[in-house]
Amino acid sequence: MRKNDKIFIAGHRGMVGSAIWSALHAKGYTNLVGRNSLELDLRNQLAVSDFFSEEKPAVVIDAAARVGGILANNNNPFQFLMENMQIQNNLIDSSLKADVQKFIFLGSSCIYPKLAPQPLKEEYLLTGPLEPTNEWYAIAKITGVKACEAIRKQFGKDYISLMPTNLYGPNDNFDLTTSHVLPAMMRKFHEAKLAGERNGTTCSEPVKLWGSGSPMREFLFVEDLADAVVFALENEFKEYLYNIGTGTDLSIKELAELIQKTVGHTGDINWDSTKPDGTPRKLMDVTKMQQAGWKAKIGLEDGIKRTYEWFLKNQETFKEVKI
The sheet with strand 158-164 has its strands ordered as: 32-33, 7-10, 59-62, 102-106, 158-164, 241-244
| Catalytic (active site) residue 137 | yes
Q: How confident is the model at residue 318 (pLDDT cuts 50, 70, 90)?
A: low
How far apart are alpha carbons 194 and 250 in whole angstroms? 27
Q: Report whether 278 belongs to an annotated binding site.
A: no
Q: What is the pLDDT of residue 133?
A: 83
Express each pLDDT in 286-313 by its tens digit. 999 999 999 999 999 999 999 999 999 9
Q: Known binder of ligand: residue 180?
A: yes
Contacts of 38 (CB under 8 A, 6+ apart): none
Q: Taken in order 180, 261, 312, 218, is the CA torsion positive or negative?
A: negative
Is 297 annotated to bind a ligand? Reply is: no
Give per-residue pLDDT as tens, 32-87. Answer: 999 999 999 999 999 999 999 999 999 999 999 988 777 778 888 999 999 999 99
Q: What is the pLDDT of residue 267?
A: 94
17 marked among binding-site residues: yes
State residue 280's pLDDT score. Answer: 83
Within 10 A of 190 (CB to CB), how many other CB atoms are there? 22
**pLDDT at residue 75 in the model:** 86
Least confident range of 123-137, 192-206, 258-272: 192-206
Going from N- to C-terminal start, the domains of the chain cover: 7-172+219-247+282-298
Mean pLDDT for the chain overall = 94
> Which pLDDT belongs to residue 61?
98
Helices (H) and strands (E) in the chain, counts: 10, 13
Integer Cα distance of 323 and 317 in angstroms: 18
Residue 278, pLDDT score: 76
The yes or no reply on domain 7-172+219-247+282-298 and CATH 3.40.50.720 is yes
Tens-digit pLDDT profile for residues 107-151: 999 999 988 999 999 999 999 999 888 899 999 999 999 999 999
pLDDT at residue 106 is higher than 90: yes
1, pLDDT greater than 90: no
Alpha-carbon gap, residue 121 to 51, rounded angstroms: 36
Q: How far is CA 214 from CA 45, 55, 129, 179, in A?
A: 43, 48, 21, 20
Tens-place pLDDT, residues 233-264: 999 999 999 999 999 999 999 999 999 999 99
163 labelled binding-site residue: no
Closest CA to 192 of 273, 260, 244, 141: 260
> pLDDT band at residue 319, thresholds of 50, 70 and 90?
low
Higher pLDDT, 39 or 200: 39
Q: Which of 29, 112, 124, 137 is catalytic?
A: 137
11 is in an annotated binding site: yes
Confidence band for 323, pLDDT divided at 50, 70 and 90: very low
Residue 147 class from Cβ within 10 Å (0-12 exposed, 13-18 middle, 19+ buried)?
A: buried
Is 165 annotated as contributing to ligand binding?
yes
Distance, in Å, from the CA atom of 322 to the CA atom of 21, rounded to the nearest integer, reads 25
